[in-house]
Structure 1
Amino acid sequence: MRAWWHKLKSWRRPVLRSAALLSLVLGAGWCLLPKPELYPPDLGWSRVVRDRHGAVLHISPAPDGRYRLRTPLAEIHPTMVRATLEKEDRWFRWHPGVNPVAVARSLWGVATGRPLGGASTLTMQVARMRWGLQTRGPGGKLLQMFRAIQLERHYTKDQILEAYCDLAPYGGNVEGIGAAARLWCGKSAADLSERESFALGIIPQSPATRHPGRAGDQSRIAVAQARLQAGLAGPEALRDDPLAASFTLVPPGEPPHRAPHFCRRMMNEDASAVVDTTLDLEIQDVLEQGIAACLDRTSESGIRNACAVLVHAPSRQVLGYVGSGNYGDRSIQGMVDGLRARRSPGSALKPFIYGLAIDQGLIHPRSLLVDAPMAFGDYNPENFEGEFMGPVTAREALVRSRNIPAVDLARRLQGEGLYGFLKHGGVRLDRPESYYGLSISLGGAGITPLELARLYAALADDGVSRPLVFRTGPPRPEAGPPLLSEAARFLVLDMLRGTGELGADYGFSRADPAVAWKTGTSHGFRDAWAAGVRGDHVLVVWMGNFSGRGNNALVARRTAAPLLFELFARLHLPDRVKEAPATVGQVDLCALSGCLPGPHCPHLVRGWFVPGVSPIGMCELHREILVDGSTGARVAWNDGRPGLRREVYEFWPPDMLALFRKAGLPRREPPAPENGTAGIEGLDPGAAPLILSPLPNRLYFTGTEDITLKAKPAAGVATVYWFCDEAFLGQSTANGGLPWQPTPGKRKLRVVDDHGRSATLVVTVKVP
């Protein structure tokens, strides 16, 4: 015994030295282990497109054909994490990558011929998946252990656990908890229930026999998950919830593939693994269902395709995006994105012509325009119906989509005109202005529904041309000055709003009076458009066939307009009443001429105008004349004869009378003059107003206080009207005044009383 003790003492020093040296070598080796990538370098990931609320619109498989989503550990339900650790490696938090107790137990099982469980830790499984190791033989298993220790050397436990949750097999071509939760449960990993967590947690141990998509594997999954739940939560969990033992996964169906045209666009434009978009899935479903219902009704007439886009105007965010009636229908070329196709917009651009004309002082909403045959060089446009209305107000001409007034206004526009407006508004025009000519006002240039929605969004908001927004993020800054003034935008929308009575004329009754809308039918009946503004939202729809074949049934007011209002009715979008801007005013106008009323105008209407811009004159249409009661002839003056009476007649120019007759709307003409006397000369014109302010021969400066316009009219005058360089400024009472802020230059002021008598004054205004 003593000899043995002495021998042990003699060995102690060398053993300690060897142990110290081995520890030093192992420590140095541990420190010198190179840091590997945690994931395979060539590993691909699925890509996800989500709507504005986080709902998944689309999941694409990774390049190797597997569904695999990168999911942070913090975004996995805690029960799912607990179930995974319970089933795979309950000592994961304590071992250095290899569990020596499990290794010893496994070796003892091999030596005794009794299976006592494997020794693979969760870290070793990550190592196997990371390097693609073959671990059935001793060499592969040792290499797996080495790699596991290497991973533990450089990564935290949470990082390794997250990698396992991303790479573990979950049946079929599904890998990782993120993809499994989405494809087998239809939700994110954070939203899993406890039952779903237990059911998913048992799949990686036998993914070939526990495939949630196969009916034959359902019973095996149910038994295994019940066993796991009982082991993790205790037997009482199954007693408290009798259905838990038989619970199994029921996959919701195919992988998400919603809004396919939109998602394809997003994936082409953004290479991110997760693309968060502005689309609203609920709105998208409403649009798709509404279009499908409409096409069911129109397919018999040969109209088999449609598309629509909904935009929130203030942010320019796209909320709904339907590129075709049916993405999977090859017979209608459903995979084509119609929202990006260039088509003739027909009359859908006319509101912008009228807006430009308002800004340039050519019209106000009740200005009289001429709808009659007219040639513009070698361009001879006609109205859709081939008929003409004669004299018509600007609002009626726009609402009724009369071609001649629109082309005539486009011809009179100064500067870059409609062509320049469209270019600055984001419309791609590949040819010079001379190529399109005036035909551009009637749809002679191709435009996409997205470009049209961008124009209408500017009209509905601030007038600034900004690109449509498809991805969430900070708002984009304004890009350039407004295309139309605030006054023009307000007046154009007011002209287009409240025209629901046209629905009955056009064959449909569901017309929301809160919607400002316009239609467009392309030449040859190839395209039917409708664009509408309700509150802060813009909706553009297109109907037709991608083949471009004409169809006489493709009349926008009978096809696209009903679809527009049906979609608005389904969407229940809020309406926001917009107050009139300070840059517009209202005044009484003659209902027939659209001019300031004289004393004999029988019907008055309230009309909008832009002070200092809108061209409004005094009504010279309604005049009072003397008529001989016995002869019916017009008398020049009151000569005292018996039977004279005063009557009011309309004095239209001869060309206007001819237009009325041509349009089938004859007017009551004044009687012929007595003895060939033409006109109403001889009547006392009365005294013209006297301008009291501003004073003549005075110099005025801008930027100071407003100048008060004041006049002294003749007796019997109730209202006076003020003009600057033929632009209407406003009205005042006979004894009142009108504030005026002049612009630099020589300004010709004119005051007109309600009898048509006027006075003028020229003032000079300079910058101080």
Structure 2
Amino acid sequence: MTVRAILRRGLRRWRWWLLSLTVLAAVLIGARWWPHPSLSESIPLSTVVRDREGRLLRLTLASDQRYRLWVPLKDISPQLVEAVMLQEDAWFRWHPGFNPISLVRGAWSTYGSGEARIGGSTLTMQLARLRWRLQTRDVRGKLVQIARALQLELFYSKDEILEAYLNFAPYGGNIEGVGAASLIYYRKPPDRVTLPESLALAVLPQAPSRRGKLAARDDDAFYIGTGLEAARARLYARWRERHPEDLAEDALLNLPLRLHSARELPFRAPHLVDRVLAERAWHPQAGPELKTTLDARLQRLLEERVRNHLQRERSRGLRNASAILIDTRDMGVRALVGSADYFDASIQGQVNGSDAKRSPGSTLKPFIYALALDQGVLHPQTVLRDVPSAFGPYTPENFDGRFMGPVTATEALVRSRNIPAVSVAAQLKQPTFYDFLRQAGVSRMASKDHYGLALVLGGGEVTMEELARMYAMLGNDGRLRPLRWREDDPPEEGARLLSAEASYITRDMLRQNPRPDAGSQPASRPLPVAWKTGTSWAFRDAWSAGIVGPYVLVVWLGNFDGSSNPALIGVEAAAPLFFDIVDGLQAARVDLAEPARQWPINIKRVEVCRASGDLPNAWCPQRGMTWFIPGKSPIRISTVHRAIALDRATGRPACGRFDPSTMRTEVFEFWPSDLAQVFVQAGIPRRRPPAGHDCGGAQDWLGSAPSITSPYRATRYTMRLSHPDQVNLSLAATVDADVSKVFWFVGNTFIGSADAGKALAWTPDRTGQFRLSVVDDHGRSDEREIEVAVVQ
């Protein structure tokens, strides 16, 4: 064979080898870039549930009953990563998936020399065994393991393989991966572990069942056992060879390493955590973390106060309670106690009482009065009748079985009088109280006819969460907003169901309700609390709900089986727990400052006669101030107090024009017959007007009625489209000499008052027909119709 032939044959062989290497490289590159599933795909994972400050509430088991969290390589401490490679596979970055030298050394140690068994598996081979659950104790199994390791190296990068191994490695019992191990053993994420902690985790996977045994001490703490401590020391010696600068770590390695066990994992706020875990399917998210709106510090406070209260009340048969605390600023649920004891089967402790339908008793009454404020039915000092009443076939009674006669709206709400509440609800138009509850999100309500007016007194059912949302609506100036359970739930503006004015006044009315232990509270600790109690029929539920600064607090006592207990009275059973929690919030220095409100709002302070709640006439002896919503609140002249002319000689009513030489006047109270009867029954003396005081209808001596002089009768007033706000009408009237003040109305809406002889400026808010009326402080009146039109 010639030299040329030999060179030609060699060239052909090199071409074949080059082609083969090219094809192999193309296959390798193509395999790496060919779509393939992530190593974390379809792996069941645990969930970490935390409070809003990052405190651990619960670590759940994965679906295969293991604690496993998938942590990206970038979120693992570099010291831990290096320690694992130093312990398990120092040549990991260079071998193709298996290390022939390590395999030979391991085989000789295991089968040839008879010495201790030494593993020859690389990190990639160990990952293959863990991922595919391989049996590798015989030669055939080992070959399968090597083939799988080559497959992993072919399809995945070194970092992906290393990340997967760190998340699959066994760490004792049913704990897998450095994420779960660091969280359970050290109560911290794997990016915050120290070098001593990293070294312990690095050596643990080689014999997790043996080295993972913990040594208990007298203080119930757990420390690493001798096997794990010795293995960690050997690894540290190798670490020091690579890192001689870490001399300071010697002292740390000599300290005992405190570990926790899985049995010590927290199980806080179980009802809230159960809820957010159940709803997790509705909120897809990346990562194993679930951060709630709960504050673990406030949660402990509520749990302790509930537990202590029930211990004090156990002799009265009170065994179960629920409570919820909401921050109205973002509607986050800060604390939730679903039952007194989650693990007590005798009270059905795993039932979440905050989501159970119960009769609310009188806790819904504030919303009746808020609607009435918005619809112009009353103002806080409107006098209502607490007298025996029938509303068709419905005849409500008060809780105490008695009647108070005339009461202001504020007193009726604070004292929870049933008759006035039903009377006010009967006057509501749009929305009715039933419609309002539907708009407020009260679920599973029957038809309106099913409840009737009994709905006012707790005839329907609400959940604690629904009730808390409605009280939060009062705190948010009338906007109904959804509760937030997770920090990544975006706050919503909500829908307005009440005006800011009605919400503010209702809160102010509820603040007049004194605490049940008001006499024992020091005067130096004033804290305005707008609160209300409720008691259901047959004493099945005791409630207390209210607004404390930026928070809404609702508590409930009762039994989940619906059994009754005479001790279940709102003011006696629930209110003490409510204020025990309020005092706890103060003691814990929780910020209870009033949040920013919508201001200014359209309300005014108006003087009224205390006896009637109407504008005071000339003879009203006691006057007070009330909140008034211009254009809504009903304002009339009081007619309870009236002056009667009496003959000086006989003391009997005198008729005709008043003559001061022969007549004198005395003021009497003119009460309706039903209220007068209540006064008699209560033993409250009232001076009844004498017979013949009306002089047979001839009352010229009472003086002249006012007469409107402006605006003019039968006159059309115009406003321009370009400046509709520049139409000011002057309202004026002539009055009798005994008049000091007049009050002006448009229809039934009060628009202002003026001193006698003074005019009042009024700007119409629309075009059309208006009925203007003026009433003096003696109750005499005049009215006229005017028309307002628009021009270009």
Is the CA contact 1:508–1:558 (under 8 Å) kept in the aligned structure 2? no
Show the counterpart of 1:286. 301
Rate the CA distance shift 1:596–1:242 in 2: closer, same or farther, 3 A. same
Show the counterpart of 2:326. 311
Show the counterpart of 2:93. 93
- Aligned residue for 2:52, secondary structure, equals coil
Cα deviation for residue 452 of structure 1 reads 0.9
Is the CA contact 1:691–1:751 (under 8 Å) kept in the aligned structure 2? no
Query: How many Å separate the matches in 2 of 1:239 and 1:191?
Result: 18
Cα deviation for residue 201 of structure 1 reads 2.5
2:394 equivalent to 1:379: yes
Show the counterpart of 1:549. 563
Deviation larger for 422-431 or 632-641? 632-641
> Deviations 1:414-454 (Å, cap 9, x if unpaired)?
13511111111100144211111111111111111111112
Show the counterpart of 2:51. 51
Show the counterpart of 2:471. 456
Show the counterpart of 1:685. 703
Show the counterpart of 2:3. none
Is the CA contact 2:743–2:753 (under 8 Å) kept in the aligned structure 1? yes
Rate the CA distance shift 1:172–1:277 in 2: closer, same or farther, 3 A. same
- Aligned residue for 1:543, secondary structure, equals strand
What code does the residue aligned with 1:742 have?
D
Show the counterpart of 1:436. 451
Is the CA contact 2:40–2:164 (under 8 Å) kept in the aligned structure 1? no
What code does the residue aligned with 1:544 have?
G
2:719 equivalent to 1:705: no
Show the counterpart of 1:728. 750
Query: How many Å separate the matches in 2 of 1:9 and 1:64?
Result: 64
> Deviations 1:225-258 (Å, cap 9, x if unpaired)?
3443454355785766635324223216433321
Show the counterpart of 2:529. 515
Deviation larger for 328-337 or 561-570? 561-570
Rate the CA distance shift 1:705–1:73 in 2: closer, same or farther, 3 A. farther
Match of 1:761 among 784, 788, 791: 784
Rate the CA distance shift 1:551–1:766 in 2: closer, same or farther, 3 A. farther
Query: How many Å separate the matches in 1 of 2:777 and 2:515?
Result: 34
Is the CA contact 1:731–1:738 (under 8 Å) kept in the aligned structure 2? no
Deviation larger for 176-185 or 308-317? 308-317
- Aligned residue for 2:135, secondary structure, equals coil
Match of 1:472 among 482, 487, 494: 487
Query: How many Å separate the matches in 2 of 1:767 and 1:220?
Result: 96
Show the counterpart of 2:543. 529
2:61 equivalent to 1:67: no
Cα deviation for residue 635 of structure 1 reads 3.7
Rate the CA distance shift 1:744–1:91 in 2: closer, same or farther, 3 A. farther
- Aligned residue for 1:126, secondary structure, equals helix
> Deviations 1:396-418 (Å, cap 9, x if unpaired)?
10111100111111112113511
Alignment of 1:261-276 (within 5 A): 261-271=271-281, 273-276=288-291
> Deviations 1:51-96 (Å, cap 9, x if unpaired)?
2233332222112211111222233233332332332233333333
The gaps in structure 2 that reach 5 residues or longer are 1-5, 217-222
Deviation larger for 85-94 or 360-369? 85-94
Query: How many Å separate the matches in 1 of 2:204 and 2:123?
Result: 15
2:228 equivalent to 1:221: yes
Is the CA contact 2:211–2:228 (under 8 Å) kept in the aligned structure 1? yes
Rate the CA distance shift 1:726–1:118 in 2: closer, same or farther, 3 A. same
Cα deviation for residue 742 of structure 1 reads 2.5
2:239 equivalent to 1:232: yes
Query: How many Å separate the matches in 2 of 1:450 and 1:647?
Result: 57
Show the counterpart of 2:508. 494
Deviation larger for 276-285 or 338-347? 276-285
What code does the residue aligned with 1:500 have?
P
What code does the residue aligned with 1:707 have?
N
> Deviations 1:29-68 (Å, cap 9, x if unpaired)?
5356576545476532112323223333222211221111
Cα deviation for residue 580 of structure 1 reads 5.8
Query: How many Å separate the matches in 2 of 1:746 and 1:235?
Result: 97
- Aligned residue for 1:683, secondary structure, equals helix
What code does the residue aligned with 1:533 have?
I
> Deviations 1:480-512 (Å, cap 9, x if unpaired)?
5x222222112111111242355448x989996
Cα deviation for residue 624 of structure 1 reads 3.3
Query: How many Å separate the matches in 2 of 1:756 and 1:488?
Result: 28
The gaps in structure 1 that reach 5 residues or longer are 1-7
2:102 equivalent to 1:84: no
Deviation larger for 510-519 or 424-433? 510-519
Sequence identity of aligned pairs in percent?
Answer: 43
> Deviations 1:564-599 (Å, cap 9, x if unpaired)?
222222223422164664322211111221111122
Alignment of 1:1-150 (within 5 A): 20=18, 23=21, 26-27=24-25, 30-31=28-29, 33=31, 37-39=37-39, 43-100=43-100, 102-103=102-103, 105-106=105-106, 113=113, 118-150=119-151
Query: How many Å separate the matches in 2 of 1:406 and 1:485?
Result: 20
Query: How many Å separate the matches in 1 of 2:190 and 2:709?
Result: 80
Query: How many Å separate the matches in 2 of 1:136 and 1:84?
Result: 23
Query: How many Å separate the matches in 2 of 1:379 and 1:55?
Result: 54
The alignment's TM-score, normalised by the length of structure 1, stands at 0.90
Is the CA contact 1:373–1:388 (under 8 Å) kept in the aligned structure 2? yes
Show the counterpart of 2:635. 616
Deviation larger for 217-226 or 432-441? 217-226
Cα deviation for residue 744 of structure 1 reads 4.3
Deviation larger for 577-586 or 341-350? 577-586
Show the counterpart of 1:3. none
Cα deviation for residue 99 of structure 1 reads 3.7
Rate the CA distance shift 1:285–1:190 in 2: closer, same or farther, 3 A. farther
Cα deviation for residue 763 of structure 1 reads 2.3
- Aligned residue for 1:79, secondary structure, equals helix
Query: How many Å separate the matches in 1 of 2:111 and 2:266?
Result: 51
Alignment of 1:505-654 (within 5 A): 513-571=527-585, 572-576=590-594, 578=597, 581-627=600-646, 631-636=650-655, 638-641=658-661, 645-654=664-673
What code does the residue aligned with 1:723 have?
F
Show the counterpart of 1:260. 270
Show the counterpart of 1:251. 260
Rate the CA distance shift 1:692–1:151 in 2: closer, same or farther, 3 A. same
2:438 equivalent to 1:423: yes
Cα deviation for residue 27 of structure 1 reads 3.7
- Aligned residue for 1:554, secondary structure, equals coil
Rate the CA distance shift 1:159–1:53 in 2: closer, same or farther, 3 A. farther
Query: How many Å separate the matches in 2 of 1:401 and 1:327?
Result: 34
Rate the CA distance shift 1:719–1:638 in 2: closer, same or farther, 3 A. closer
Is the CA contact 2:224–2:258 (under 8 Å) kept in the aligned structure 1? no
- Aligned residue for 1:344, secondary structure, equals coil
Match of 1:445 among 446, 450, 460: 460
Cα deviation for residue 524 of structure 1 reads 0.5
Cα deviation for residue 308 of structure 1 reads 1.2
Rate the CA distance shift 1:100–1:447 in 2: closer, same or farther, 3 A. same
Show the counterpart of 1:331. 346
